[in-house]
Chains A and B, each alone.
Chain A
């Protein structure tokens, strides 16, 4: 077992040595892979941020219950709370509503409404059971309450946003699959060139009794390491992009009074990307070396 790990460690160190001997070629391949991986990863991070942002806007599938003006809002809210299927109720008084409107619209300084507040009291209801059917049933029930003027479901735009995000996710998946294939081909081609430059070495190793696994090993390390380093490069590109976007996002944040911060990949996701890069590199190298090994068989 010790001998097995020693052999792998030796091959790994030799691979690092090979990289060090041709730094320019290695760097170019790594950056190419980095750019290839950065595109779908960047789009994925963009989608994640959009999803986070949309979750902050409204409770998913909530109902806005507009109360009759001049009615007893406290009694109306109490009646809403008693309706079966209601999980939580958040009451926004007409004054709070006006203040919120002034803040988010940026029209507060214009004194549009004078001293008169035209807004009704609103109860934001979170259904106990999410889903279009339950929410629609609950909306129907709330409409029958005497102090309720109008019930508006927020589910429609949530569904639309979800559909748009699902489309985005599918596009990212297609792009990732296409670029992943491109990456495998890039690495297969790189490995094939390395195999060709080491044809003499391979024939000697064969002659002294090297197995296919032994011959394959250094090339698999080259593929996996190049892919892994390419993924690391993609993470760096992504981080630089996020740093570059942080300023404009902060400007938007200030303008809208939200508390949103751009998020990058988490530790687990970054590790997954590194693993994926290494795996794709390994696959590319394996394809290239398999062909070379077949050609040398008797």
Chain B
């Protein structure tokens, strides 16, 4: 049963603790499993530890204690030199989208492919396909600052998905958007999930959680409150 579950889990956290150097206990005994092709919301009030969980999953931080497995890789045993290759298996979307404003939309979306060593026509084909999926085909030569907030977030999503990662995580992707744009963005995530991408979204937007009726993992003050 255990080995069967490992084969199908994309994210697995076991008794994870995270204490920051100044002594703040960000996470305390957090654990959950997200299976292949699942979509879930990670929710809780501000300071609950949602962002910390996402940072641990893409190894921007290391846990103080506990075990984390992502895409079949136990992160505690991942050597530093393998870290970039591990991150290529995850697409990340941020609330502030973190686009490079002095580069074109095309260059922003192409970044994960260029980083992976891809060049030429294949890059062009994949970037245009990704922009097409997020409804921004034809805007590739523009710069991020010329786009609206919703469009910038779409560029961020295109960048997160252009290299076809099996796992997509998003940290408050609708935090800066109005209700209609938020629906569009979350629907995009659902579409990708329908195509087999595992999706984990950290949000405190209860309306979206109610609307999509997907799995919910609740955190409060760094503790697990429930995983429905």
- Interface of A toward B, CB cutoff 8 Å: 2-3, 6-7, 10, 200-201, 203-212, 214, 297-298
Binds A, one of B20-28, B109-117, B176-184, B217-225: B109-117
Q: Tell me whether A298 and B59 are in contact in the complex, defined as CB-CB below 8 angstroms, given that A6-B120, A214-B115 are known contacts.
A: yes
| Cross-chain contact A298 with B111 (CB below 8 angstroms) | no
Query: What is the count of residue pairs linking A and B with beta-carbon distances less than 8 angstroms?
Result: 57
CA A6 – CA B114 in complex, angstroms? 11
| Cross-chain contact B62 with A298 (CB below 8 angstroms) | yes
| Cross-chain contact A208 with B120 (CB below 8 angstroms) | no
Measured CB to CB, the closest approach of chain A to B218, in angstroms, equals 26
List A contacts of B83 (CB < 8 A). Answer: 298
Measured CB to CB, the closest approach of chain A to B87, in angstroms, equals 4
Which 8 A-B pairs rank lowest in CB-CB distance, beginning with the nearest?
A209-B88, A208-B112, A209-B87, A210-B115, A211-B84, A6-B119, A209-B84, A3-B119
| Cross-chain contact B61 with A208 (CB below 8 angstroms) | no
List A contacts of B86 (CB < 8 A). Answer: 209
| Cross-chain contact A298 with B117 (CB below 8 angstroms) | no
| Cross-chain contact B117 with A209 (CB below 8 angstroms) | no
CA A121 – CA B114 in complex, angstroms? 82
Query: How many residues of chain B are within 8 Å of chain A by beta carbon?
Result: 26
CA A200 – CA B97 in complex, angstroms? 12
- CB within 8 A of A208: which of B62, B80, B88? B88
List A contacts of B98 (CB < 8 A). Answer: 200, 203-204, 207
List A contacts of B115 (CB < 8 A). Answer: 205, 208-211, 214
Judge whether B167 is part of the interface by a CB distance below 8 angstroms: no
CA A208 – CA B83 in complex, angstroms? 11
| Cross-chain contact B119 with A206 (CB below 8 angstroms) | no
Judge whether B159 is part of the interface by a CB distance below 8 angstroms: yes
> Which of A2, A207, A208, A298 has the most chain B CB atoms closer than 10 A to its own CB?
A208
| Cross-chain contact A208 with B111 (CB below 8 angstroms) | yes
B108 closest partner in A (C-beta): A204
Measured CB to CB, the closest approach of chain B to A185, in angstroms, equals 28
List A contacts of B59 (CB < 8 A). Answer: 298
B101 closest partner in A (C-beta): A200
List B contacts of A208 (CB < 8 A). Answer: 87-88, 92, 111-112, 115, 159, 163
A211 closest partner in B (C-beta): B84
B160 closest partner in A (C-beta): A208
- CB within 8 A of B117: which of A7, A203, A297? A7
CA A2 – CA B122 in complex, angstroms? 14
Given contact pairs A208-B87, A208-B159, A208-B163, enumerate 5 new A-B contacts (beta carbons under 8 Å).
A7-B114, A10-B119, A203-B98, A207-B58, A298-B59
Judge whether B1 is part of the interface by a CB distance below 8 angstroms: no
Judge whether B4 is part of the interface by a CB distance below 8 angstroms: no
Measured CB to CB, the closest approach of chain B to A19, in angstroms, equals 14
Judge whether B60 is part of the interface by a CB distance below 8 angstroms: yes
- In the assembled complex, 10 residue pairs joining A and B whose CB atoms fall closer than 8 Å, in A order, are A3-B120, A10-B114, A200-B98, A208-B111, A209-B85, A209-B87, A211-B115, A212-B84, A298-B59, A298-B61
CA A282 – CA B204 in complex, angstroms? 48
